[in-house]
Structure 1
Amino acid sequence: MDDERLAEGLHEHTAGFAKAVADADPDATVPTCPEWPLRVLVGHIGQAHRWSASIVRSGPTPVPDPFDADPGEPGQWAEWLRDGAADLADAVLAAGDRPVWTFFGDGPARFWLRRMLHDTTVHHADAALATGGAFDVAPDLAADGISEWLELLSDPVTATLKPAFAELRGTGQTVALDPGAGPGWLITRTPDGVRWERATGTADVTLAGPVVDLLLVFTRRLPLDRITVTGDRDLAEHWLAHTAA
């Protein structure tokens, strides 16, 4: 997926997020992020986009606290969100091939565009679930969101950042995600961590359904019963219980 498609997706889901929270109560509870009222969820999105842009331009700074973000009055949210997404996209496209800091060492600036796209997409779903708004995501973006999440989970650095992820280690247990069309994802839990590949095959447990539903179940935004589970359901539930971001 090229940078232009990532930027297009970021703008699309930032706009969708803004539409989902328009005219909503800033203090409303977000069921899938229960510690955050809606204002904090809005603040997190705009803050994260600007923080990522500053990393691309100037290097790392401490991770900001979403409760410190000030998105302004609700009537200003849409413009504030759009400006943050544009700032990030502009910074990444201007950086080109120049390496920048990431959680996993220096890497391409597009790391932040891709990370923020998928973070925004999932939080777009959070906002829609909280306000009763509509949510959808293009299949190519949903598929890349699953792959990107698995890349994060399989990196050895991730368990040092969030120790609960170390519980995903195993002794060869396998989890398959089957979108029904095209290759799925085959995940293996090894003593050294998570391994995965784009493949369709037998596994100890298979989660099957439309790729959008797979993304939302896999990121704990929809219940497991939304899709078809074949095999060791306890294994699927254990995986989900230890992947809370």
Structure 2
Amino acid sequence: MPTELTLERHVAGLGEAMSAFVRYADRAGLDAAVPTCPDWTVRDLTAHQGMVHRWATSFLRGVRTSDPEAWERAGRAQTDPVAWLGAGAAELARTIRQTPDDVRAPVFLNDAPRPRAFWARRQCHETTMHAVDAQAAALGRTPDAVETSWIETEVAVDGIDELLAGFLTRPRERLRTEEESTLVVAPDDSGSWWVVSLGPRPALTSRGKGPLPDSDWLLTGTAVELYLRLWNRGPAPSLDENDWRGLAAVTWSGGGSAEPTPAGQRKVSAMPRPRS
């Protein structure tokens, strides 16, 4: 489903993630390695996130850029890239709030809400995942669900839904199995569960409540734990011989567009190429 959260809740989630990002980036230092984004430092992570915020803002304002990574290069060169990141996040939040509901802008996920709500949701989860990356840099390892208690359950549930129903069901995604099978994702602290129907075709996802349906694989835990695991910030779900990290990774490809690149994990981001 598009989302059960309001636009204001997503904007608030963006702010909560930014607070965590800044806190942990400052604690880690700009030269610290980011365990969840191999080959990146906190400076790289900060510049990337600041670029994505400016990229999203440009779409809502109807301004297309041929080289979004110019923002990333600019961010990396900043004396204080964390302050630069904060300025871009604040401008994004203002733009989301000031943009009319009927704005025409690209969206790129299945079952997406209208563009204004879509970008609020997408940037809430984009920033939350990269705040977890900043926390990983401060800890020197991937944080667990207890350590990421700053993530609210309702945000985690919404992020699970966005990934399972929005990202992984698109025709070009590679989350496939040779034989028909099902994965059920069921947070312990939410009344909802998701059934992901897998096979040689694109995945199909449905959401329900009540008794759990039969499945080949069942993934349980708190909503935050599952949110982190499904977004590859924790132990990967087990699908027997199938590699979740390889099949469900979503990364920034560069070159002025963004698309999933399942084989690579260097830049772990949640930004595939937008469709008009």
The answer on 1:152 being equivalent to 2:167 is: yes
The answer on 1:82 being equivalent to 2:86 is: yes
Q: Secondary structure at the match of 1:39?
A: helix
Q: Which has the larger share of helix?
A: 1
Counterpart of 1:135 (choices 117, 129, 148) is 148
Q: CA deviation at 1:222?
A: 0.7
Q: In structure 2, what is the Cα distance between the partners aligned to 1:8 and 1:146?
A: 18
The answer on 1:214 being equivalent to 2:223 is: no
The answer on 1:204 being equivalent to 2:216 is: yes
Aligned residue for 1:184?
193
Q: CA deviation at 1:35?
A: 2.6
Contact 2:21/2:130 (CA < 8 Å) preserved in 1? yes
Q: 1:216/1:104 Cα in 2 relative to 1: closer, same or farther (>3 Å)?
A: closer
Aligned residue for 1:166?
174
Q: 1:194/1:60 Cα in 2 relative to 1: closer, same or farther (>3 Å)?
A: farther
Q: In structure 2, what is the Cα distance between the partners aligned to 1:67 and 1:34?
A: 17
How many residues get paired? Answer: 229
Aligned residue for 1:29?
33
Q: CA deviation at 1:197?
A: 1.3
Contact 1:179/1:210 (CA < 8 Å) preserved in 2? yes
Structure 1: 5+ residue stretches without partners? 160-164
Aligned residue for 1:121?
128
Q: In structure 2, what is the Cα distance between the partners aligned to 1:104 and 1:148?
A: 8
Q: Secondary structure at the match of 1:61?
A: coil
- Which has the larger displacement, 115-124 or 93-102? 93-102
Q: 1:35/1:175 Cα in 2 relative to 1: closer, same or farther (>3 Å)?
A: same
Query: What RMSD over aligned residues (CA atoms) do the two structures have, in Å?
Result: 2.4
Q: CA deviation at 1:219?
A: 0.9
Deviation beyond 4 Å, 4+ runs, structure 1 = 104-107
Q: Which amino acid aligns with 2:170?
A: D
Contact 1:168/1:239 (CA < 8 Å) preserved in 2? no
Q: CA deviation at 1:205?
A: 0.6
Q: In structure 2, what is the Cα distance between the partners aligned to 1:47 and 1:5?
A: 23
Q: In structure 1, what is the Cα distance between the partners aligned to 2:200 and 2:217?
A: 19
Q: In structure 2, what is the Cα distance between the partners aligned to 1:42 and 1:73?
A: 12
Contact 1:95/1:109 (CA < 8 Å) preserved in 2? yes
Q: CA deviation at 1:64?
A: 2.5
Contact 1:170/1:193 (CA < 8 Å) preserved in 2? no
Contact 1:180/1:210 (CA < 8 Å) preserved in 2? yes
Q: CA deviation at 1:109?
A: 2.0
Aligned residue for 1:162?
none
Deviation string for 1:5-50 (max 9, x for gaps)? 0100001101110011114332221111003211010111111111
Deviation string for 1:82-129 (max 9, x for gaps)? 322221122122222222123369952221221111011111111111
- Which has the larger displacement, 138-147 or 19-28? 19-28
The answer on 1:234 being equivalent to 2:240 is: yes
Contact 2:17/2:127 (CA < 8 Å) preserved in 1? yes
Structure 2: 5+ residue stretches without partners? 251-276
Q: 1:103/1:233 Cα in 2 relative to 1: closer, same or farther (>3 Å)?
A: closer
Deviation string for 1:49-102 (max 9, x for gaps)? 11110111024324633751415234x61x333322221122122222222123
Q: 1:169/1:114 Cα in 2 relative to 1: closer, same or farther (>3 Å)?
A: farther
